[in-house]
Structures are given as structure tokens and as C-alpha cells.
Amino acid sequence: MGGVAIGIQANPEISALVVGAVRIAIDLALNCTTFFSRLTDMICKFEDYLGPLVEYARAADIKLVEKTAVNAYENVLDFGWKARRVFVHANGDQRRWTSLRAFMRQHWETFESEFVSIKEDMQHHLDVLLHSVQALHFDTFRKTEQERRREEERKEKSAFLSWVSSIDFEKAHQDTYAKKHEQTCDWLINEPKYRQWFRSSISSLLWCYGKPGIGKSVLASNVLENITAECGLQKDTAVCFAYYNYQHTQLGDVSQIIAALIKQLCRERDSVPPGLLKLKHDALHPSSVGTQERFLSLIEDLSEVFVVFDALDECPEQERKDIISFITNIVTTRVPCCVKVFVTSRREMDIAKAFEDKHIPTVQIRAENVTADIQTFARNQVEKLRKGEHGKTLYVTSDELKEKIVHTLARKADGMFLWVNLQLDSLCQISKSQKAQLVEDALTTLPQGLEGTYVRILERIEGQPPYMRGLALNCLAWMIYARKPLNTKELQDALATNANCRSRQDIQPDHPKVILEACGNLLEEVNSAIRPIHYTVQEFLTTPAQGLSQDSIRRWLLDSNSMHIRLSLLCLNYIHLAAFNGPARDWVDLYLRIEDYQFAGYASQNFDYHISHCDEVSHDIMQQLEDLFRQNSQRLAAILQIKALRDEFNVESVRQHFDPMSFPVSASTIIYGTRLYDLPILRQQWAGQTPPKYALHLASSAGLASAVIRLVEAGCDVNERDGRYATPLFYACSEAHLRIVQSLLKSGAEVNAQGGLYGNALQAASAGGHEQIVKLLLDTGADVNA
């Protein structure tokens, strides 16, 4: 019996009863030879059902199939039980008959009619099973297809979020909120103007302003947390935010800020709207997403959106009008969604005028608002420092002195948390003597305000041993004058480089803790970068003051010419020490090279920036350049290869912008590819009579407008292709040099020439978000489908 055998193998537990029923019928057939053929025929019909039934039983974990399969198995059991009842009495004795006809009429014919009913019932259940399984297959296919689409949407969403903005405001928020102490900042949440703004049913803006160091950013982070706690789980409400930082120059571009807000809003949606996805699919720059219209369009299906902007005053003043316009417009434009914006900043004139002209509600952070918070903060900090937390220790054992410290700081802080922190740093230093009287004396001579505190910190820095003092001067110089912020490893290498280093092995970087200590805690390390503890530090160091001694650090730092000479020489020193024998073979080799020589990227890309900011080319710089330009072609090519990366040293950027530099590189090539061309003394000495290979490409990329004009006048081919098949126009468009683009087009540059990383000049300009150049190219006949 094949069907029975299959049933036993497939599922012995379920099959046992069914097989038992079939076995009873077989035994009856053997004992009752008269009915043998009829019974076996019936059994064979059931066997036809058992094979498919076993397969259906495999899906018994699906409720619908399980229920129908049980009904079918019941039919088999019913057949076995009724077959037995024909031949066996209820008490188990076998039936005897004297008349076969009477037996057939009384028992067998009834059983045969019941068998027909059982078989029809069985067929019905199998039909139901068939339709159920077909429906299940369809449902499974539908669910599989839905899951595939959801997975595609997830991947598409993830790719869009990575593309649209790299600004990590979430990390900035977490870092800022971590500075909040328990039982502080709640005064603002309970402020009537705040509660009115929060509960308002119409779009509105609330501006919260205060002086430096009073805790505006931490207040903003607490507002954001409060909004999230009260509204974050509501499906029709969204929250987005931006933390300005004066060190991040890209935050001055309003399109980047809006794109970052849109990224946050899209992250909370199930999928990205098709209109936004199309911008990515069309290979446009992410800045094309960052418009007011797209922001308002994205929030139309919401009932309420909260937007928090912190430290608006740290947005560069020349770009501030654009973000202020965006802020005021999104709360005044009529949209279905209620838009509520919260802004913190200092009371800068342009911000105050823009908001007051529109009668925007304001909350001023006064010292009396935060007195209780300051006292709580001071007490918590003193307790932590007494325990030696955060690597600092306040050697104070007397509870009475502890309370005196807390109350003195709270009384003199004038609302400034930063001031309290700086005084505690100073008291930790003084308390190392473990003499309580010295701490008490220090409490009577605390400096007034942040400026007085910074003056005293600089005095302590001045009094350090020569090495630590020099380390502080160099470090603060990099903080103020670097073209872009250095990460910690870059800074360590830069600070360890000096004229006495003869090889890479001579560079012995200081530990970050040593660097921070040398700078008197004016700096901090955050996210693998050392930076000023507050915006006011850089303002203080770059603001002229009266009565500075000739050799004071602050006077040195105010001398931008001396500082750029110093940094120029450090860059050139490091380039000499790296002394790569030739350009990297491939992008992986180049990436590893920059990883091994951390400062090589900044030094190679910016030595000309610092030289160009000097009042004149000093004798020392000239000597270094002469040594550099005497290097062979291969070594100069290695420098130019790194410079071609344009600030980014991550894997993807190095892979995309890698140039094998498979052409001769000379001193003239370096001149035409850097800002050194704009310095007559250098141009006259090293530019040469004949322009080097690809001079027009290099000048177009470096933004040397005067060089481009001279090269074109000298007969250079404006449509020449380099090793990447790119024309000078491609590089000018990629680097957003509008004047050079205009000059090249006027000189006959082919607007649709194919080549380069992005394919053509229009795509290069679009990828960079250079809207003026895109418009110029289109007006000149650029083909969007080229």
C-alpha cells in the first residue's frame, strides 16, 4: 500500500490512527473473503487520497490547512470504524449470518451508501485543501512580493538618506544633551511664553537669546528632548533640528541645512516621496533637495512639525540672512501643517532686527533665570571632581569649603555655566597643593566674566616650560588659522613636526591629554577632533587688545602674517619628511599612504593656502620651496596626486578622485596647479616660458583666473583632454569657478564635451550643486541628456 507507506514515513505521529483504521479494514477483508474485493477496492480509493493528504499535512502549521486536513483524516477514520461495524458487534464479537442477502441488505448496503457519502466528503475536503493551498500559495507570493518591495524601499531609503546629507546633527544633539545636569533647564519648559508657543494651534516662532556661556545650546537640547517626549510618538507630528557650529563652514549654506532637515523628516517616514527620489536618480547634487518649497511639500501630510535651531549666531553673518528668511517663511507661509520653530542665539543685531520686525515672541535668558541651575550644576561638578571623575581632581576634604566653593561660584557666575567650569579647572590646579587656604584665597580673586578668565588662563600658559608654551602656541595657531579643522591625528603630527626633524621617525606625537593640558583647557577633544571649548575662545584670541606684551602668546596669535609663515613652514617640513618616491599605483595605495602619514593630506593641499596669506614670501619659505622644486618629477607628482583629492580622504573620495598622474610633473606644474601662481616672485622664478602639460586643466581646477586667461591667449587648446578624458571646462565646473567657466566658454570650450568623473561639465556642476554654473551651461546650449 504505497499511500499508507508514504503516510507513515511522512508523519508517524499523525499517521498512526489513520493507518490503524486502514489496517482494520484490511484485516476484515482477509477474514471476510466474500467482501474482499469490494473492501480492497474501497481501500485503494482511499489510498489515492492519502498521498496528497500527506503533502498537505506537511503544512499543518498553517491553521486553514490543518483544519481541513484533520477533517479528511476523520473521513478515513470514519471509514475504518463503519467498516468494522459491518462485521463486528459493539461487544467485539464477529457477526454471523445465515442469509448473505439479509446480511447485505441489513449491513453491507447501508455501509456502501455510507462509503459513497464518506468518499464524497473526503473529496470535498481534498478540494477545499486544494483551494486553500492555492490561496495560500497566492498569499505567500503576495507577501513575498510585498516583502521584496519593502526591502527595495528600505535600500532605496537608506541610499537616499546617505546621499542627501552627511551632516550629523543627531550626534551634535547627543553630545550637547550629555552636558545637561539633572534638575536643570526645566525653568524654560515652564516659562509661559514657551508653553504658549508649544500649545499653539497655529504656526509660530519663539526666539530664545542670551549672552555667551549661559547655556543656550544645552537649553535647546532640553527643549528638543521635551518636544520628543511629549509628541515624538504621534504619527502625524515630526521633529527636526540643526545645531550650528562656527567651525563647520558648510553650515553657512542654507541648502545644506534644509537638506539635513529633510533627511531627518524622511528617516521617520516609511518611504521617501518619489519626487525626492527622482532628484537622486537624475544624479543631481543633494543641495537640489534643500529648498524651502521641498521642505514645505514634505510636511503637507503632517498636522504639526517642530523645528529647533541652536546657535544661529554661529552661522557666518554673510549667509545668515538666507537661513533667517527660511525660518520666518516656513512659519508665515500658508500650509496645512502647523510649523513651530524654536531658535537660540546671542542677540546679534541682524537676528534681533529680523525677528523684532516681525514681532516674534522672545525669551531672554537672564542670570536670575539660571541661578538655581548654576548652583545645582556647581554642586554636582564639585562632588564629581572631589571623586576624581573626568581625569581631574579637586583636593578639598572639608564640606564647609565645598559649600563655600559652590555658593561663591553661583554668586559670581552671572548665569554662565562655562565660567563655572573654567573656575573649577583652575581650582583643581590650585588644590593640588592640598592646602585649603590657597583654595579659599583663590575664591576671593576669581576673574570677572569669560574674558577675564581667558586672560588668566593665557597667563598660566605663558608661565609653562618652553616646550609646553611652544606646543600651546602652535596648537592655538592651528585652531585659528587652519583652512579647515584638523582631526586629532592630523594635529598630533602637525604639532610634532619641526625644523629639527630629518625623517618620519623623528616625528614623535604628543598624547592628546598633553596637548590639552598645554593649552590650559581652552580646548577639548570631541569626536576625534581637538577644538576650542567654546566659540568665545576663538573670538577672544582673534580680538585685538591693548597693552599686550611683545612676546605674549595672544600678541603672536593676532599677527596673522607670522602665523601663516609658521604654518607654511610646518606644511613644507612635513612634505619633505614624507618624501614619497612617486605617485601611488592605485587608489588603495594612495589611501593607505595618507593613513600612514596623517598630516600629508592637509600639508599637500594647503601649503600654498598659507603661503598665499603671508604678506610676503619669507626667506625661510623660499628656501623650503627651492628644496621642494629640486625634487624629481615622480616626487612632485606624488604631492600633486594628493592635492587632487580636494580635502576628502575617506575611502570613497580617494577612490573617486584618484589620478595616476601619468604625465611629467615639474616645478612649473606645481605653480600652475596651486595658489603659488598668484605670487609674482614665485611665478616669475618657476612658471617657465613654456606652460607644462595640462597647465590649463590645473589652472582651471585651482581657480587661477589670471593664469587661465594668459594660457588661452598663449594658444592653449581649451578642449584638450587629459588622462581622464576631461577638459579644462569640466574642472572649472566641478570646482565652481564661475569666472573661469565664463572665460573658457567665451574662448570656444565645447559645452557638451564628454569625459571626467561625472561624464561632462553639466553633470559635474550639477553634482556639486553649483546652480549659477548649471544655468550658464544650459543657456550656452548644454544638453541635459548628453
Query: With the C-alpha atoms ordered 525, 528, 530, 535, is the resulting torsion angle positive or negative?
Result: negative
Q: Residue 176 above 90 pLDDT?
A: yes
pLDDT at 111: 62
Q: How many domains does the chain have?
A: 3
- The helix, strand and coil proportions of the chain, stated in percent and rounded to the nearest 5, come to 65, 5, 30
Give residue 428's pLDDT: 92
Considering the domain architecture, whether residues 263 and 382 belong to the same structural domain is answered as: no
Average pLDDT over residues 76-97: 64
Q: Are 220 and 282 found together in one domain?
A: yes
φ and ψ at 99, to 5 degrees? Answer: -120, 115
Distance CA 568, CA 618 (A): 10
Note whether residue 134 is domain-resident. yes
For residues 2 and 48, the answer to whether their CB atoms sit within 8 Å is: no
Residues 88 and 122 placed together within one structural domain of the fold: yes
What percentage of residues in the chain have a pLDDT greater than 90? 64
560-607: pLDDT as tens digits: 999 999 999 999 999 999 889 999 999 999 999 999 999 999 999 999
Checking DSSP bridges between strand 338-345 and strand 204-209, what pairing results, if any?
parallel
Instruction: Please give the pLDDT value at position 14.
Output: 46
Q: In this structure, is residue 442 part of a structural domain? A: yes
Tell me if 160 sits within 8 A of 280, measured CB to CB: yes
Q: Is the residue at 487 inside a domain?
A: no
> What is the mean predicted confidence (pLDDT) over 456-474?
94
Same domain, 397 and 358: no
Residue 183: exposed, middle, or buried by beta-carbon count in 10 A (0-12, 13-18, 19+)? exposed
Instruction: Give 526's strand partners.
Output: 529
Whether the Cβ atoms of residue 268 and residue 238 lie closer than 8 Å to each other: yes
pLDDT at 144 over 70: yes
**Chain segment 695-705, per-residue pLDDT in tens:** 999 999 999 99
C-alpha cell at 745: 566658454
Give mean pLDDT, residues 82-105: 62
Listed residues 411, 446, 481: the one ending a domain: 446
Q: Which range, of 121-130, 288-297, 426-435, 495-504, averages the lowest pLDDT?
A: 121-130
Q: Does residue 37 register a pLDDT over 90? A: no
Q: What is the reported pLDDT for 82?
A: 65
Give phi and psi for 704, each to the nearest 5.
Answer: -90, 85
Domain end, chosen from 421, 446, 471, is at: 446
Say which residues have a Cβ less than 8 Å from residue 76's Cβ, sequence separation at least 6.
Answer: 18, 21, 22, 46, 49, 50, 122
Report the C-alpha gap between 583 and 637 in whole angstroms.
6
Residue 524 has a CB neighbour count (10 Å cut-off) of 15
Domain boundary among 365, 396, 414: 365
- Residue 393, pLDDT > 60, answer yes
CA distance 19 to 211: 89
Q: Is the pLDDT of residue 101 over 60?
A: no
CA angle, corner 224, sides to 218 and 228, nearest 5? Answer: 145
pLDDT tops 70 at residue 24: no
Residue 11 confidence class, pLDDT cut points 50, 70, 90: very low
Count Cβ atoms below 10 Å from residue 425 Cβ, excluding itself. 18
Task: Give the CATH number of the domain where residue 317 resides.
Answer: 3.40.50.300
* pLDDT grade for 18, boundaries at 50, 70 and 90: low
Q: Are residues 418 and 284 in the same domain?
A: no
> Domain range for residue 403?
371-446
What is the number of other CB atoms lying within 10 angstroms of the CB of residue 56? 20
**Does one domain contain both 359 and 402?**
no
DSSP string for residues in 139-180: HHHHHHHHHHHHHHHHHHHHHHHHHH----HHHHHHHHHTTP
- In this structure, is residue 703 part of a structural domain? no
Backbone φ and ψ for 304, nearest 5 degrees, come out as: -155, 140
| Burial class (CB within 10 angstroms; exposed 0-12, middle 13-18, buried 19+) of 643 | buried
688 secondary structure, DSSP code: -
Q: 3-class DSSP state for residue 456?
A: helix
The verdict on 354 and 384 lying in the same domain is no
- Same domain assignment for residues 76 and 132: yes
Does residue 38 belong to any structural domain of this protein?
Answer: yes
3-state secondary structure of 237: strand
Query: 354 and 426 in one domain?
Result: no
Q: Which residues contact 67 (CB under 8 A, 6 or more apart)?
A: none
Residue 755 within any structural domain of the chain? no
Asked whether the predicted pLDDT for residue 446 surpasses 50, the reply is yes
More confident residue, 81 or 326: 326
More confident residue, 653 or 106: 653
Q: Grade residue 6 by pLDDT with cuts at 50, 70 and 90.
A: very low
**316 and 213 housed in the same domain:** yes
Q: Which residue has the higher pLDDT, 757 or 364?
A: 364
Provide the pLDDT for residue 480: 95
Res 3: pLDDT: 42
Q: Using DSSP, state whether 204 is helix, strand or coil.
A: strand
State yes or no: pLDDT of 343 exceeds 50.
Answer: yes
Instruction: Find the range with the poorest average confidence among 39-43, 349-353, 521-525, 632-636.
Output: 39-43
Residue whose grid cell is 585685538: 544
Question: CA–CA separation, 412 vs 22, rounded Å?
Answer: 98
More confident residue, 503 or 429: 429
For residue 62, is it within any domain?
yes
Q: What confidence score (pLDDT) does residue 357 get?
A: 92
Determine the pLDDT at residue 1.
Answer: 42
If you ran DSSP here, which 8-state letter would residue 694 be given?
T
Q: What is the pLDDT of residue 679?
A: 95
Question: Can you tell me which residue has the cell 579647572?
Answer: 425
Residues 181 and 303 in one domain: yes
- pLDDT bracket for residue 283 (50, 70, 90): confident
Q: How confident is the model at residue 424 (pLDDT cuts 50, 70, 90)?
A: very high
String of DSSP letters for 63-120 = HHHHHHHHHHHHHHHHHHHHHHHHHB-TTSPBP--S-HHHHIIIIIHHHHHHHHHHHH
Residue ranges with strand state E in 329-460: 338-345, 362-364
181 and 321 assigned to the same domain: yes
Q: What is the mean pLDDT of the chain?
A: 86
Q: Supply the pTM of this predicted model.
A: 0.76
Q: How far is residue 102 from each of residues 81, 89, 96, 114, 349, measured CA to CA in Å?
A: 21, 16, 11, 18, 116
pLDDT of residue 131: 72
Poorest-confidence range of 58-62, 417-421, 448-452, 551-555?
Answer: 58-62
Q: How far is 733 from 771, CA to CA, in rounded Å?
A: 10
The cell numbers describing 127, all together, are 478540494
HSE toward the beta carbon, residue 337, CA cutoff 13 A:
22
**pLDDT for position 106:** 61
pLDDT digit string, tens, across residues 505-539? 888 999 999 999 999 989 999 888 999 999 899 99
* 594 part of a folded domain: no
Residue 227: closest CA among 240, 216, 215, 236:
240
The H or E element containing residue 263 is helix 254-267
- In whole angstroms, what separates CA 704 from the centre of its chain? 34
Half-sphere exposure of 537 (CA within 13 A, CB side): 21
List phi, psi (to 5°) of 775. -60, -45
